[in-house]
Amino acid sequence: EVGNVAAFLASPMASAMTGNVVYVDNGLHAMGVGVDSPVFSNAGNPKSEGI
């Protein structure tokens, strides 16, 4: 996924992109996945760990 973005940014097709943020996160940013999503179940929860 990162390689595809790098290849695009190095190509002439990206010549009009200036000052943009390109998210490489398997589409999670575009889908609006919340922090309580099962996707983040292995990330650890500070509240449950007593932090």
Give the tens place of pLDDT for each residue, 9-49. Answer: 899 999 988 888 888 876 666 666 666 666 666 665 566 55
Spatial separation of the C-alpha atoms in residues 47 and 38, rounded to whole Å: 16
Model pTM score = 0.49
Query: Quick one: DSSP state of residue 24?
Result: -
**Rounded-to-integer distance, Cα 33 and Cα 14, Å:** 27
- Other CB atoms within 10 Å distance of the CB of residue 27: 10
